[in-house]
Chain A
Amino acid sequence: MLNSPYIRKPASVQGVMLAVLVALIPALVVYAWQIAAVVLVNLAIATATAMAGEAFVLKLRARPIAPALSDLSAVVTAWLVVLCFPPILPWWATVLGVLIAIVAVKHLYGGLGQNPFNPAMVAYCAMIVAFPALMSQWPPAGQLDFQTQLGLVLGGVRELDGITGATALDTVKTGLRAAGATVETVMAQGSFGLVGGRGWEWLAPAYAAGGAYLLARRVITWHMPAAFLVALAMISGAFWLANPGQFTSPLFHLASGGAMLGAFFIVTDPVSGATTPRGKLIFAAGVALVAYVIRVFGAFPEGIAFAVLLMNICVPLIDMNTQPRVFGYRGDKTR
């Protein structure tokens, strides 16, 4: 027997996941056009791996395969893994990363909705710890032709020193450690564009556009992106105002690395993130704070992945302490 309500809003998990995929399209277009078209090949590899991996584990777990594959959550994970990995990574590294995300992080914890950590971010952290050199090879925008890119991905000779460069974040960090270097002298080098890495900086508005779409579709709420971006801008702004020679501007931080990807697609992961309105603000601001500290003072060029995982650990604590006041308990301090 069915119980009330007898009507349902036409919404589905597939719909949510599809919206996220659609929201990633502007960034993918910019990525393929400005930086490396091979990202589309990676996307295909990652998607196939994610589907195969998901199907394999579901079979092992004796769970129905078709519904889980069709919910598109594995595809979203695969795409996010690709977007946070360097595009000229050999194919096996992409496969490995996706399998870490799907098999280890998602299914070993019980499948969709059960993982306490963001799968793509665990994959990134695991890979950068395991293969630091490989995971640091980012191509400068528009300098490699597609043949070369494809060769690198499918396993050609890797003459890396000539073709890869450090990211903008990395260049600034290592550059500033040289004697007498200031932000200005470091950023006078050719690999910088207007506010961030040349070419790469255009990804930021593309991610933001996708984020705006997700906000309009009510797939995500404003809390997380706003708290993340405002917190990152405020922290970097404070350091920048105190010493503009040694600390880069908030704009640079917002336009570099995974800031925008993180703001709209990573911290907003509902499964592993905080859920209460206040909790979302705390969670996202926490990610921004930890990411900034790692970016500027830590050993890794980018800190968002580690920051997200550290804040994932705090989610139960945050949620527990930020439960909204229930209707009818106005002024009730116990809640």
Chain B
Amino acid sequence: MISRLFNFRGGVKPEPHKSESSGTPIEKAPLPKRLVIPLRQSLRSTARCLVEPGQKVLKGEQIGQGEGALGTGVHASTSGTVVEIAPYPMAHASGLETLSVVIAPDGEERWIDRAPFDYRKVSREEALGWLRSCGILGLGGAGFPTHVKLGSGTGIDTLVINGAECEPWITCDDRLMRERAADVLSGAMILRELIGARRVLVGIEDNKPDAIERMRAAASGVGDDVAVVAVPALYPAGGERQLIRVLTGIEIPQGKFGTDFGVQCFNVGTAEAVHRAIQFGEPLLSRIVTLTGNVARPGNYEILLGTQVAELLALVGPKADTDRYIMGGPMMGIELQSLGVPVTATTNCIIAASPALFPPPPPEQPCIRCGECARACPADLQPFELYWFSRAKNFGKAREYHLFDCIECGCCAYVCPSHIPLVDYFRFSKGEIQAREHERTASEQARTRFEFRNFRQEREKAEKAAKLAAKVAETRAKRPEAATAPETAAAPEPAASPEDLKKALVAAALARAKQQKAAVTPKNTDRLSAETQAEIAAIDARREKLTTQDADKTP
């Protein structure tokens, strides 16, 4: 079915270090003393907490409700008691904290009622909703919600299942494919049906022959339009865009999605999670994590989400000279700021680092424009140019040279003979540009808000005046004698400006006074003497004069 492989330019071949952990079967990690389950699932969304401290929860019980389009459900990984809802460190380079649900396991592992979900009997939306409530998101690294990636269910020709696993040290996907090939494939078939794809391509780096064989065996009974393809082992072949390029020849630029090109990609772990969610009704509660590096017993462990890294270390026995821990691979992983960080859906590997395994980089030397970085860049960028622009803080130029197409894979920094931490420069530049843009948007918004406020105040003033005028007119209309008066016709128009309205009001008031005077002559003056009447007339005249003057004065 697949006639030839394409290639992406660049890439590097670091020491694989896969054999340390690839030989031992997946082992279930023991129940931890406590689970710290972050409500924040990604930078994009935070779930709304559904539980209270002291509450008992069952394994698989939903404890967080995904909010917004990108939110997914959060579940208790085991049964126990919610002891605390408080900020805990999350797996982020910054070491920031996020609101987390802390559960003390009761050790019974009592499940919620769960049953297979027949996705064929319900609408597509309901099936996606089920995956969403099961908390299924990408287990490959970015943690993008699966229900969102499955999209509209049309226009997708090729479903790519990513088993490339190109980062050194990491072997969790390798073991998963070797031990649970049928489950992965079952998940892939469900994904294919939900996304409406014609064919399925499973890409696996050729340094995992066993995984390729098992997956091929699993795929043999499924049909011709499912192919397990061995791709050359070259970092970053497991990058979604790179793998899609290798398998289909399609180049997806940054800012665009696979769906725009009729192809979508899911990690093998995601496929297995989908299989579990549909076939058993199990939410995403655990994942396979490679624990390796400077440890006595490296291997792959099935670990409940929320297990803190500190609790895992006893499993593998870090050696004495371990000085830090890396979550993820050595090319793109983050150095853990705290061992209290919990395992989440995107945690694929924890590497114990020692100065011997990961020596600090030699001191930075000047760039000699040798172009090694450009040759290694899988995005075909010119990293050394971006480096000069970043150093000069010439961000406009950096952007022009496609800074935002940088995928931060680290190939450039890996090969640089001058030991320049190029990726750090690019992260800095991206951050600066984004901060400036944010500032600009913020001031733009403030200006718009201010202008709208002024407009609103004006409008309210006008409305108030119009209302008043209308009320006056209405009141007057209620008087029968006023209704006949010719002045009524000249009632102020509501649309007039406040100035006009005021004048009109005054005029109306005057007219009313005149009318009153004309129509209602006080009864107690009927039988007054002519002298007194003349006096009253004089007073009235004076008063009228004054009122007129007042009216004139009133602007």
Contact = CB atoms under 8 A, between A and B. Distances in A.
A4 interface: yes
B414 interface: yes
Contacts of A67: 363, 365
Given A3-B421, A15-B417, A323 B368 contact: no
B450 interface: no
A5 B402 CA distance: 21
A242 interface: no
B168 A7 contact: yes
Given A2-B335, A113-B369, A8 B413 contact: yes
Contacts of B468: none
A165 interface: no
A274 to B, nearest CB: 10
A326 B419 contact: no
A113 B410 contact: no
Interface stretch (B55-63, B133-141, B372-380, B499-507): B372-380
Given A270-B370, A271-B369, A4 B334 contact: yes
B368 A112 contact: yes
A71 interface: yes
A170 B416 CA distance: 43
B362 interface: yes
A275 interface: yes
A171 interface: no
Contact of A5 (B256, B371, B414): B414
B179 interface: no
A34 to B, nearest CB: 32
Residue of A12, A13, A71 with most partner-chain B CB within 10 A: A13
Interface string B395-408: 00000011001001
Contacts of A12: 362, 365, 417-419
Main secondary structure of the interface of B (DSSP, over half): loop
Given A13-B417, A275-B374, A326-B381, A6 B358 contact: yes
B381 A5 contact: no
A73 B366 CA distance: 11
A110 B90 CA distance: 44
A11 interface: yes
Contacts of A112: 365-366, 368
A5 B241 CA distance: 20
A265 to B, nearest CB: 14
A12 B363 CA distance: 10
- The number of chain B residues touching the other chain, given as a range, is 35 or more
Given A112-B366, A114-B366, A328 B254 contact: yes
Interface in A73-127: 73, 111-114
Interface in B72-113: 93
A1 interface: yes
A324 interface: yes
B158 interface: no
Contacts of A329: 251, 253
B360 interface: yes
A116 B334 CA distance: 38
A16 B382 CA distance: 20
A113 B419 contact: no
Contact of B413 (A5, A71, A271, A335): A5
Contacts of A1: 335
B29 interface: no
B414 A327 contact: no
Contacts of A327: 8-9, 241, 245, 251, 253, 378-381, 405
B470 interface: no
A323 B382 contact: yes
A8 B12 CA distance: 11
A209 to B, nearest CB: 22
A333 interface: no
Contacts of A335: 402
B384 interface: yes
Nearest to A325: B380
B330 A5 contact: yes
A182 interface: no
A136 interface: no
Nearest to B15: A7
Contacts of A15: 417
B331 A13 contact: no
Contacts of B353: 6
Nearest to A273: B369
Nearest to B326: A6
Nearest to B361: A8
B367 interface: yes
Nearest to B408: A4
A326 B402 contact: yes
A9 B415 contact: yes
A275 B384 contact: yes
Contacts of B374: 275-276, 324
B430 interface: no
Nearest to A5: B410
Contacts of A13: 365-366, 368, 417-418
A335 B402 CA distance: 10
Nearest to A326: B402
B143 interface: no
Nearest to B363: A67
B374 to A, nearest CB: 7
29 contacts: A3-B424, A3-B427, A4-B332, A4-B334, A5-B330, A5-B414, A6-B330, A6-B331, A6-B335, A6-B353, A6-B358, A7-B168, A8-B361, A8-B362, A8-B419, A9-B12, A11-B415, A12-B362, A13-B417, A16-B370, A113-B369, A275-B369, A325-B380, A326-B402, A327-B9, A327-B245, A327-B405, A328-B241, A335-B402
Interface of B: 8-9, 12, 14-15, 93, 168, 241, 245, 251-254, 256, 326, 328, 330-335, 353, 358, 360-363, 365-372, 374-375, 378-382, 384-385, 401-402, 405, 408, 410, 413-419, 421, 423-424, 427
Given A7-B331, A327-B405, 13 more contacts: A1-B335, A3-B424, A6-B358, A12-B419, A13-B417, A67-B363, A113-B369, A221-B371, A270-B370, A276-B382, A327-B245, A327-B378, A329-B253
